[in-house]
Structure 1
Amino acid sequence: MYSLELNLRYSPFPLSIQKKELEDAKRIFDEIKSSMNDTLESSNLIELRCDKVQDKLIAVRAKEIISVQIYEKSSVAGGAKRPGFSLNID
């Protein structure tokens, strides 16, 4: 399962959906990036559907998205990499 996480302007909490296939998550990721670039004059509305929770739908204005990321949601809690960006200092 792959999580797609959006961070919104002026919101401390991210929005996320899960996709079963990496290709689906990458396709949505690319669509969101494209919409973020196209929002200078318009205000596109992006609708997202979750594979894990079938009734979960999210609609958000593209101009309010400040970042988007994909990460693998592992069932193993111990060895899973945390989502987000981090520095690994040895």
Structure 2
Amino acid sequence: MFTIDLTVRNTPFPISVQRKTAEDAEAVYQLILAAMSSGKPEIVELKCEGKTERKIAVRASEISGVQVTQKDSATTASGRPPGFFALTSE
């Protein structure tokens, strides 16, 4: 199972959907990238394959990041999968 996590501006937690195959996860990833780079305030609607009742809709211009992880992928010492990392200069 693959999880696609969306980081949305001004939202403290990611939005996630699941896909069963790597090809389906890559297709969703490319769809989100295309919507983000279009520059238009279009709505991206996604449905979850793992929990079929889960649906989300988010404005593409508000998505600040997207990542794809495999459910059984390597985890860090904290037990969490690798994710986004940001550096700030002071």
Normalised TM-score (structure 2) = 0.83
- Describe the shift of the 1:13–1:62 C-alpha distance in structure 2 as closer, same or farther (beyond 3 A): same
Q: 1:59 corresponds to which residue?
A: 57
1:27-50: CA deviations, max 9, x gaps? Answer: 1101111110102xx211000110
Unpaired runs of 5+ in structure 1? none
RMSD: 1.4
Secondary structure of the structure 2 residue equivalent to 1:52: coil
Q: 2:83 corresponds to which residue?
A: 84
The alignment-based identity, stated in percent, is: 39
Divergent runs of 4+, >2 A: none
Q: Supply the distance in 1 between the matched residues of 2:70 and 2:64 (Cα, whole angstroms).
A: 21
Unpaired runs of 5+ in structure 2? 76-80, 86-90
Q: 2:31 corresponds to which residue?
A: 31
Shift of 1:85: 4.1
